Amino acid sequence: MTLTPTPSQTVGPYLHLGLTDTRSIPCLAAKGVNGDRMLLLIRVLDGDGVPVPDAMIELWQADCEGNYPRTDQPASAAADAAFRGFGRMPTGEDGSCAFETIKPGLVPGPGDTLQAPHINVSILGRGLLKRLSTRVYFASEPANLSDRILALVPENRRNTLLARPDPARAGGWIFEIRLSGEGETVFFDV
């Protein structure tokens, strides 16, 4: 007997309908938002290192002061109403997408500690029945050394969570997500 997945068992081509075709959000921080502006290029690769052209990436981050936008208050009460803090983009044929944002600040962590600047990432796509969750930390960030969440990751795997400066673009960062295989990105069970 052969079993064939039905639409309720796989994300399939249904993922993008209504989510990225007209509802992509490439800009998390409008012009004029406080903070160091950056372009974050995210590239998704499968276990063979082949680009994944039909994944969907969602980002959630704090502003430069370490505050997340709150949905329980009116936009006029937000510290910076032009800071969205959320983005969503599909990957293109080369497996990548780019977000315009700012570098986040330190955010509260467990036990009255501060977490290093990071961006929360969700990956959705074909073959993934549940979203994958990871974080983007920034290479050479001094606060990485004292981040208690990053410290939970084995030292030899932490580099899979680091964005690196883009040599081709001032203010650009590149973050590569490997879904499986050698150099697989660390994913969090949330």
Strand 37-45 relative to strand 96-102: parallel, antiparallel, unpaired?
antiparallel
For the record, the structure tokens of 77 come out as 């009460």
Q: What is the pLDDT of residue 161?
A: 98
Between CA 177 and CA 55 the distance in angstroms is 11
Dihedrals phi, psi of 151, to nearest 5 degrees:
-65, -20
Assess if residue 71 is contained within a domain.
Answer: yes
Dihedrals phi, psi of 46, to nearest 5 degrees:
-85, -170
CATH number of 58's domain: 2.60.130.10
Q: What is the pLDDT of residue 72?
A: 67
Assess if residue 1 is contained within a domain.
Answer: no
Q: What's the number of domains the chain is made of?
A: 1
Assess if residue 86 is contained within a domain.
Answer: yes
Assess if residue 9 is contained within a domain.
Answer: no
Indicate the pTM of the whole model. 0.87
Q: What is the DSSP string of 18-62?
A: TTTTTT-B-BSB-TT-SS-EEEEEEEEE-TTS-B-TT-EEEEEE-
Q: What is the pLDDT of residue 53?
A: 93
Q: What is the pLDDT of residue 5?
A: 57
Assess if residue 13 is contained within a domain.
Answer: no
Q: Write the CA distances from 29 to 6, 38, 49, 157, integer angstroms.
A: 39, 10, 31, 30
Q: What is the pLDDT of residue 20?
A: 58
Q: What is the pLDDT of residue 76?
A: 47
Q: What is the pLDDT of residue 85?
A: 94
Assess if residue 2 is contained within a domain.
Answer: no
Q: What is the pLDDT along the chain (190 residues), one digit of tens a residue?
A: 776 655 554 555 555 555 556 678 999 999 999 999 999 999 999 999 999 998 999 999 999 999 998 766 655 455 577 899 999 999 999 999 999 999 999 999 988 999 999 999 999 988 788 899 999 999 999 999 999 999 999 999 999 999 999 999 999 999 999 999 999 999 999 8
For the record, the structure tokens of 177 come out as 């997500």
Q: Look up the domain containing 38 and give its range.
A: 27-178
Assess if residue 60 is contained within a domain.
Answer: yes
Between CA 178 and CA 169 the distance in angstroms is 23
Q: What is the pLDDT of residue 7?
A: 52
Assess if residue 190 is contained within a domain.
Answer: no
Q: List, in order, residues 6 or more apart from 46 with CB less than 8 Å away.
A: 52, 178, 179, 180, 181
